[in-house]
A = this chain, B = another copy of it.
């Protein structure tokens, strides 16, 4: 077989696999947004059947031969082969029956989690969680081949990262975050935003904010779901949001966050569509986009100034004192229970806590029956507040029910990358705050699209950020940004 033929045949095989993976992912979207509740068990069978098909295609015996025969003719082909080889080597380690069982169980577990969370009953979720953890440990054992179980799972979301490297970074970040937290909490908190903000008006605002961030409605849509998420890619990437009528920031910042994810997928070079390069390259890089949209852009003084005008126009006079009071309310620091609603100072402390807990669960150092106590003890120690109910504690996040162990640390890695990108973007884009103050994000998002998003999976995760920034990424810029922002806000 000639080199060209092998590459062409391999890419044709992969292209159909990518199409099927998109179908499976949309099935997940449907489950969380549209599926009638009674369809949950059947959906588990459907998910398992799709996983069976995908696993068989990803472990197809011909792939090894194609990979051996195909020499890359350019950097794009080399990157495709790298990604395909990575996926193949990972997939062949996991038996198809285990992959299918994981798909079935996590599909059903999601509904079990949602019901347990709504009822605030940990006991309703524990047997399911124990089953998911058991299956993930089996999967990790296959992948790790004697190495660390948790590292094997991290690798799915963040290639080249390890618990050790992430833990070391968290260790460097923690003292400065804790010091900042203590300094801020020692000051008087600015007034929060109070009032009633109707669901329909919030959803209209969410749509307009997505538009302000350049979201492509021809290739996307927004719906309500219990847990905000983005899903899909290519020419069909969708987001969800949620509404709390007493707290518009929940919907606003969930929406902007998911628009960041979805915009990344939709900005990838169309030449990479339906190939392994046609996705965000890692969850850390993905989170860098969602978090910079949400925080460094969306929670900045310039953009919140514009948003204040939008809010007044839609909801009438606000309870806060003008655009400055609004900016302070948006960035109010307080030790809340819920990660997704956390301010920028506390956010990474939530992640560090989950990182330690899930690593212990996967390594077998923490029994699932001890998780609630471990969570609550750690929360009290880190946040100085006692968890008042499980939905404010270990039942708050969907991740573990669907088997996402090793995913949480990528949120903080994303914040770190966002800090680097924010520094580079502000050096590269003139007058960015003047534009953001008019609600014009095009300079900021255009720079991200050109330097990060359009490249998809072409470069490795860390290289993607380094190439965009022109410097090696580290936690420094994020911490500098946080200290400067909150010292100014709290007049420290």
Interface residues, chain A, CB within 8 Å of chain B?
A: 15-16, 19-20, 22-23, 26-27, 30, 34-39, 41-43, 45-46, 48-50, 52-53, 216-221, 234-236, 238, 273-274
Contacts and interface: CB of A to CB of B under 8 A. Distances in A.
Contact of A22 (B22, B46, B234): B46
A219 B216 CA distance: 32
Nearest to A216: B38
A108 B490 CA distance: 56
Given A19-B45, A36-B217, A39-B219, 16 more contacts: A19-B42, A19-B48, A19-B49, A20-B49, A23-B23, A23-B46, A23-B49, A26-B30, A34-B34, A36-B218, A36-B220, A36-B235, A38-B216, A38-B235, A39-B236, A53-B53
Contacts of A41: 235
A52 B20 CA distance: 10
Contacts of A221: 34, 36
Contacts of A273: 42
Contacts of A49: 16, 19-20, 23
A273 B48 CA distance: 16
B27 A23 contact: yes
A39 B220 CA distance: 9
A486 to B, nearest CB: 39
A107 B75 CA distance: 34
B219 A38 contact: yes
A221 B31 CA distance: 13
Which of A27, A53, A219 is packed against the most chain B CB atoms within 10 Å?
Answer: A53
A22 B236 CA distance: 21
A217 B38 CA distance: 9
A88 to B, nearest CB: 19
A23 B24 CA distance: 8
A48 B36 CA distance: 26
Q: How many copies does the complex hold?
A: 2
Contacts of A36: 217-221, 235-236, 238
Contact of A20 (B38, B43, B53, B235): B53
Contacts of A218: 36-38
Nearest to A35: B236
A223 to B, nearest CB: 8
A42 B25 CA distance: 14
Given A26-B27, A39-B219, A236-B39, A46 B34 contact: no
Contacts of A220: 36
A234 B41 CA distance: 10
A43 B236 contact: yes
A48 B16 CA distance: 9
A234 B42 CA distance: 8
A23 B53 CA distance: 12
Contacts of A238: 36
A19 B50 CA distance: 8
A39 B25 CA distance: 14
Contacts of A35: 236
A235 B44 CA distance: 12
A13 to B, nearest CB: 11
The 3 closest A-B pairs by CB, nearest first: A39-B236, A19-B49, A38-B218
A42 B22 contact: yes
Nearest to A219: B38
A46 B236 CA distance: 11
A405 to B, nearest CB: 26
A216 B36 CA distance: 10
Nearest to A41: B235
A15 B220 CA distance: 33
Contacts of A234: 39, 42
Contacts of A219: 36, 38-39
A219 B42 CA distance: 11
A235 B23 contact: no
A221 B223 CA distance: 16
B19 A235 contact: no
A49 B16 CA distance: 6
A19 B217 CA distance: 31
A46 B15 CA distance: 10
Nearest to A266: B38
Contacts of A39: 219, 234-236
Contacts of A22: 42, 46
A45 B49 CA distance: 19
A33 to B, nearest CB: 9
Contacts of A30: 26, 30
Contact of A16 (B52, B216, B217, B274): B52
